[in-house]
A = this chain, B = another copy of it.
Amino acid sequence: MDHIFSDRISDVPKSFLREILKTTVNEDVISFAGGLPNRDLFPIQEIKKASIKVLDEFGGDALQYSTSEGYSELRKWISERYASKMGLTVNPDNILITTGSQQGLDLIGKTLINESESVAIEEPGYLGAIQAFSLYRPNFLPIPLHFDGLDLEALRFASERYAIKLIYAVPNFQNPSGLSHSDENRDEVARILSGSQTIFVEDDPYGELQFRGEKRRSYYSRIPEQTILLGSFSKIFAPSLRIGWMVAPNRLMEKLIIAKQASDLHTNYFGQRILFQYLTDNNLDLHITKIRAKYSKQKDAMVAAISKYFPKEIRYSDPDGGMFLWAILPEGISSRAVFDLAIEKKVAFVPGDPFYVNRTNANTMRLNFSCVDEETIEIGIRRLGKIISDFIT
């Protein structure tokens, strides 16, 4: 029956993560496997007020079809926030509202990737990007991600050897690893890419969730003509509305808008209006401060528990922000095997495999701290530490 399908869809990995998450919804499982923002922090009352106001004042307009580029006031708001928070000059005309930043990845694939062209991706990397790009059948070039950023040797080697069309990275508090590219690393990466034909896809859904340290300068500010910057309201507002955006250079905008129009005409406009009303009537920074405080405390609890309960030979990231922490088991230890034991003992995480283009039995694990309270983190990590210790010895 398979001849009915396109070749492209046959290449896309089934989401192993999805299967894993199904096994972890059991109520008495302590799950570090999720990847969700904490629902206790959603501004429900404020969204209610915004919804009522939008419908009372702009009902007919807010419910009608709208433009593919997105709500102009929202694009302006994003432009102003870039200016005030990051010192970046971004023209609203270079901002395209997308149906979550996931759609940004699909639009990039549609618009830029020909079959067999080279797409470099940090490894471990964001699963959704691997999935989205896979549909356009690129030749993936994995670039190892270290605790301070991309492997420069590997990037240099790849860029000399291949015409890299895109390089994809989440430079701030990455999913799955929680790692960030240091400023020095960014300098070097930008130097290697500068003037080439390569587009840097800078995916930044977690940038606003920074717990400590200096803000690092974006790739967009370093090589703007070669950067597509993706953003999202999912982690600082609410994910269910599926509102993200992309910033792209002039020369790419027209084609991206055509691709957007062909994909879903435009992003849910009622949601865009509610979001904009929320942003107008509330202090987003105050809200983000609350999210940061909670996630930061939970991250601290997780790091403390790991240092107490995990065997000493296990390395792990201590993220400056975001929602994830990364642990590296000794070489040769399969985290999938550990997962099978852990789920029996009612604790879950995501084994590293799906975050690599092509690897099984990786020795890495993703641990989410945004949705579990400090006390439960302590219990869960203790349980997991025991399993790992037993497994290793």
Contact = CB atoms under 8 A, between A and B. Distances in A.
Interface in A38-63: 39-40, 42, 44-45, 47-48, 51-52, 55-56, 59-63
A307 interface: no
B99 A238 contact: no
Contacts of A262: 12, 102, 106, 128, 131-132, 134-135
B63 A239 contact: yes
Interface string A7-39: 111001011001000000000000000001101
A100 interface: yes
Given A5-B112, A240-B62, A264 B261 contact: no
A6 B63 contact: no
Where chain A touches its partner, the secondary structure class is helix
Interface stretch (A140-148, A186-194, A252-260, A384-392): A252-260
Contacts of A63: 39, 42, 44, 47, 238-241
A324 to B, nearest CB: 15
25 contacts: A5-B255, A7-B114, A9-B111, A12-B258, A14-B254, A15-B258, A37-B64, A39-B61, A42-B64, A44-B63, A47-B59, A52-B52, A64-B239, A99-B99, A99-B242, A106-B262, A106-B264, A132-B262, A134-B262, A135-B259, A135-B262, A241-B268, A242-B265, A242-B268, A268-B271
Contacts of A65: 36, 234, 239-240
Contact of A6 (B14, B36, B110): B110
Nearest to A55: B48
A182 interface: no
A132 B263 CA distance: 7
Contacts of A268: 99, 240-242, 268, 271
Nearest 9 Cβ contacts at the A-B interface: A44-B59, A39-B60, A63-B238, A240-B269, A99-B264, A268-B268, A51-B51, A42-B63, A48-B55
B52 A261 contact: no
A56 B60 contact: no
Contact of A113 (B6, B18, B264): B6
B4 A251 contact: yes
Interface string A63-81: 1111000000000000000
A264 B242 contact: yes
A126 interface: no
Contacts of A9: 110-112, 255, 258-259
